[in-house]
Amino acid sequence: MEEHAMSESGLTVAWRAGTMLGEGPVWIEEQQVLLFVDIHGGRICLYDPGRGAGRDLPCTGRPSFIYPAGADSFVYGSNRELRLLSLTGRDERLCDLTVPEDTRTNDGAVDVHGRLWFGMSHVPETEPLGGLFVYDRGEVRQHLDNIVVPNGPAISPDGSTMYHVDSPRGRISRYRIEDGAPVDGHLHVQIAEGDGFPDGVTLDAEGCLWVCLWDGWGVRRYDPDGRLMREIRFPCARVTKLALGGADGTTAYVTTARTGLGDAELREQPGAGSLFAFDAGVAGVPAAHCALP
């Protein structure tokens, strides 16, 4: 395949959202919409595939993930706090996070028990001051540390397995979750130098892991043993995270970024910052709801 060419997947631009750092797509089954964030743009975006249109929701700071927390409530991470949002416009602080000042929330996931797992990233992305935290009905605990940019996690539907990404080191690790804590971590996939950096990860209904590659021009699917099964090439370099949804549950929605790209790169990558879609051929795992106190 020619470098950076479209693949046989039928990859399309769903919405030219123009995100600086699009991240964290999550399919909301109840409303049949996709939510995602633009961290550097300070946006929470809602895409309605039924209308083929998107819009922004009011938010605060630099949102980095968003998950359902009730019929019309959503929890999102922003800077050094967790916040609550509703589609009717409510936006209020849920809790402050006791973390270093030069960190911010990054990627997240909710497990079947309603626990919100999320990473804190070093803001200049140079020092290992980040880690993995969990919000459990009002209590916040830290489980992993010494991480520069944590991504994921992705958690199995039964809540027993977690995949966690150390992006600068190219490592995707697999953990057992035991008594609410990740244990027995070991390397699951190592992304080779020059292939990009692993960013967001997502599990599908067959237990396979979808990995987006920052500066890697694509998305990969790995089987439960860590073997590469499929790769979809993108027309832009900074591919960030994938969610499975749509009317039949098998549409892959993928966020991308334009931050840090120069004028010449943006001319080469006019789709950078868009929301892309393709037929994944496999269903996703419904998003769990974050349990509030």
Pair of tokens at residue 74: 């959503």
pTM: 0.95
Q: Does residue 248 sit within a domain?
A: yes
Is there a contact between 208 and 222 (Cβ–Cβ < 8 Å)?
yes
Residue 223 included in any domain = yes
Domain-located, residue 4:
no
Asked whether residue 251 is domain-assigned, the answer is yes
pLDDT in tens, 187-227: 999 999 999 999 999 999 999 999 999 999 999 999 999 99
Q: Which residues of the chain have pLDDT under 70?
A: 1-8
On whether residue 5 sits in a domain, the answer given is: no
Where helices occur in the chain by DSSP H, the ranges are 263-268
Residue 2: its pLDDT value, please?
Answer: 30
CA-based nearest residue to 95, from 78, 111, 115: 78
Q: Specify the pLDDT at position 87.
A: 83
The CATH number covering residue 145 comes to 2.120.10.30
Decide if 96 is inside a domain: yes
Q: Is the dihedral of CA 264, 267, 273, 277 positive or negative?
A: negative
* Helix, strand, coil in percent for the chain, rounding step 5: 5, 55, 45
What is the per-residue pLDDT for 71? 82
Output the pLDDT for position 19: 98
Q: In terms of residue numbers, what domain contains 185?
A: 12-279
2 inside domain: no
The residues assigned a catalytic role are 199
What is the number of domains present in the chain?
1
